[in-house]
Amino acid sequence: MVLVLVEHRQGEIRDITFEMLTKAAELADETDSKVSAVLLTDDADGFIDELKPWADEILLHEDPKYEFFNSDVYEQALVDIIADKTPDLIMIGHSAQGMELAPSLASETDIPLVTSVIDMWWEDGELVSERQIYGGKVNSEVRYNKKDPYMVTVQAASFEAEEAPNLDGSIIEIDPSIDDSKVFKKFLEYVEPEAGEVDITASEILISIGRGIGEEDNLDIIEELAEAVGGDISGSRPVIDNGWLPDDRQVGQSGKTVTPKLYLAIGISGASQHIIGMKGSETIVAINKDPDAPIFEVADYGIVDDLFDIVPKLTETIKEEYQ
Ligand SMILES: Cc1cc2nc3c(=O)[nH]c(=O)nc-3n(C[C@H](O)[C@H](O)[C@H](O)COP(=O)(O)OP(=O)(O)OC[C@H]3O[C@@H](n4cnc5c(N)ncnc54)[C@H](O)[C@@H]3O)c2cc1C
The string of pLDDT tens digits covering residues 282-307 is 999 999 999 999 999 999 999 999 99
User: 307 CB less than 6 Å from ligand 1?
Assistant: yes
Long-range contacts from 252-255, C-beta under 8 angstroms, 24+ separation: 252/276, 252/277, 252/278, 253/136, 253/277
In this structure, are residues 100 and 75 in contact, taking their beta carbons and an 8 Å threshold?
Answer: no
User: 170 CB less than 6 Å from ligand 1?
Assistant: no
What pLDDT was estimated at residue 196?
Answer: 60
Q: Give which of 138, 233, 169, 231 is closest to 21, Cα–Cα.
A: 169
User: 260 CB less than 6 Å from ligand 1?
Assistant: no
Q: For residue 239, how far is its CA from the centre of ligand 1 (angstroms)?
A: 8
Cα 241 to Cα 249: distance, rounded to the nearest angstrom: 11
User: 252 CB less than 6 Å from ligand 1?
Assistant: yes
- Residue 135, pLDDT > 80, answer no
Q: For residue 274, how far is its CA from the centre of ligand 1 (angstroms)?
A: 7
Please, which residues have CB within 8 angstroms of residue 77's CB and are 6 or more apart in sequence?
A: 40, 61, 176, 178
Q: Whose CA is nearest to atom 1 of ligand 1?
A: 135
Domains of the chain: 2-182 (3.40.50.620), 200-322 (3.40.50.1220)
User: 302 CB less than 6 Å from ligand 1?
Assistant: no
What pLDDT was estimated at residue 180?
Answer: 95
- Residue 179, pLDDT > 80, answer yes
Element (H, E) at 10: none
Q: For residue 169, how far is its CA from the centre of ligand 1 (angstroms)?
A: 43
In this structure, are residues 263 and 255 in contact, taking their beta carbons and an 8 Å threshold?
Answer: no
The string of pLDDT tens digits covering residues 252-270 is 988 988 989 999 999 999 9
User: 290 CB less than 6 Å from ligand 1?
Assistant: yes
- Residue 195, pLDDT > 70, answer no
User: 13 CB less than 6 Å from ligand 1?
Assistant: no
Mean pLDDT of 168-188: 95
What pLDDT was estimated at residue 133?
Answer: 83
Pocket test for ligand 1, best of 233, 273, 279 (most atoms within 8 A of CB): 273
DSSP β-ladder status, 138-143 and 150-154: unpaired
What pLDDT was estimated at residue 165?
Answer: 86
Q: For residue 119, how far is its CA from the centre of ligand 1 (angstroms)?
A: 23
Q: Whose CA is nearest to atom 41 of ligand 1?
A: 306
Cα 117 to Cα 108: distance, rounded to the nearest angstrom: 21
For residue 202, what pLDDT band results from cuts at 50, 70 and 90? confident
User: 238 CB less than 6 Å from ligand 1?
Assistant: yes
Q: Whose CA is nearest to atom 47 of ligand 1?
A: 290
Q: What is the rounded average pLDDT for all residues in the chain?
A: 94
- Residue 229, pLDDT > 90, answer yes
Distances in Å between the alpha carbon of 173 and those of 12, 39, 62, 90, 238? 20, 10, 8, 19, 48
Give yes or no for a cis peptide into 193 (omega within 30° of 0): no
- Residue 99, pLDDT > 80, answer yes
User: 137 CB less than 6 Å from ligand 1?
Assistant: no
Q: Which atom of ligand 1 is nearest to the CA of 308?
A: 41
User: 235 CB less than 6 Å from ligand 1?
Assistant: no
Q: At what angle do helices 71-85 and 96-109 cross, to 10 degrees?
A: 50
Q: For residue 257, how far is its CA from the centre of ligand 1 (angstroms)?
A: 16
Please, which residues have CB within 8 angstroms of residue 128's CB and are 6 or more apart in sequence?
A: 120, 121, 122, 141, 142, 143
Q: Give which of 305, 267, 301 is closest to 281, Cα–Cα.
A: 301
Cα 81 to Cα 56: distance, rounded to the nearest angstrom: 16
What pLDDT was estimated at residue 136?
Answer: 67
